[in-house]
Amino acid sequence: MGGALTPRAVFVTRETDYELLIARHATRGQARFFLERRVQRIEDVEARHDRFHAVLLRARASVPADWRQTLVRRSDLDRFQFASDDVIVPVGQDGLVANVAKYLDGQPVLGVNPAPDLYDGVLVRVAVDRLARLLVASANAAVEIEHRTMVQAMLDDGQRLTALNEVFVGHGSHQSARYRIETAEAAEDHSSSGLIVASGTGATGWARSIAESTHLALTLGREEHAVGFWVREPFPSIATATTLRAGKLTDMPLTVTSRMNEGGVIFADGIEQDRIAFDWGRTVHLSAADKTLNLVKGA
């Protein structure tokens, strides 16, 4: 009878700028010509590419010899099968953690920052020289975890979308979004540039921009089981109102029913290609998700 499988480290990356250039232009020479015409140097792009792969190599060498490990690109996340005992290691910018978060279900996440001078490191804050110790500690549940709240959009047909930062509901173009919005206390019809529902993590990004421009700030903790909603540029008319412009959602979800004949969309964390159609009559309930992003503290 075989023993239990050892833990698996799953490294998550995205293509470097250099790899994207070569994919687009086929050869280094053509990529160099493209950049030089724009007064840029391919050597600078190559240097960042080499630096990233040096960090990735060190990170992968940190995995205990008896563990399993694999690497998955961001573009393949929707086809990858994560296991409950995986330890997830995004290596890249902060957005990579948001990209992988919606595919996880409680696995610990160790974000590695390959370029602290380029990336803020809000979510990728583990130095590569601490990774070996933190991998083992994570597998043994001997680390401090931030249980970051996520946003959930549940549609009337059972489809569900989750996001670490925010969910957008609106029109896919620059046309006005028309919908009915309902909280536990009130309901009204809207014509607006759409709305977003954000977590405490997302409240520092797109939501913050909307809150500052509208002076409708909300206090959301990163681990608080609550989310906030903000309506973008609501337009008052004989048929539409603007009273429900922002609010905090704790126990009851925000319910939105589409009044758009076509072009209505819902998408998460700015990934528009993963949009769900939200046309006339469809209803979505938006709230804090049951699952969280389990982010390992890097100390």
Q: What is the pLDDT of residue 174?
A: 82
List the structure tokens of 263. Answer: 């072009």
Ordered structural domains, the chain, with CATH: 8-143 (3.40.50), 149-294 (2.60.200.30)
How far apart CA 112 and CA 71 sit, in angstroms, is 14
Q: What is the pLDDT along the chain (299 residues), one digit of tens a residue?
A: 345 789 999 999 999 998 999 999 999 899 988 988 888 888 998 999 999 999 999 999 999 999 999 999 999 998 999 999 999 999 999 999 999 999 999 999 999 999 999 898 999 999 999 999 999 999 999 999 999 999 999 999 999 999 999 999 999 998 999 999 999 999 999 999 999 999 999 988 888 888 888 878 889 999 999 999 999 999 999 999 999 999 999 999 999 999 999 999 999 988 877 899 999 999 999 999 999 999 998 75
CA distances (Å), 240 to each of 154, 223, 235, in order?
25, 35, 7
Which one, of 292, 293, 170, lies nearest residue 232 by Cα?
Answer: 170
pLDDT tens digits for range 100-121: 999 999 999 999 999 999 898 9
Beta strands in 58-206 (DSSP E): 68-73, 86-90, 108-109, 145-155, 160-163, 166-171, 177-182, 187-192, 195-198
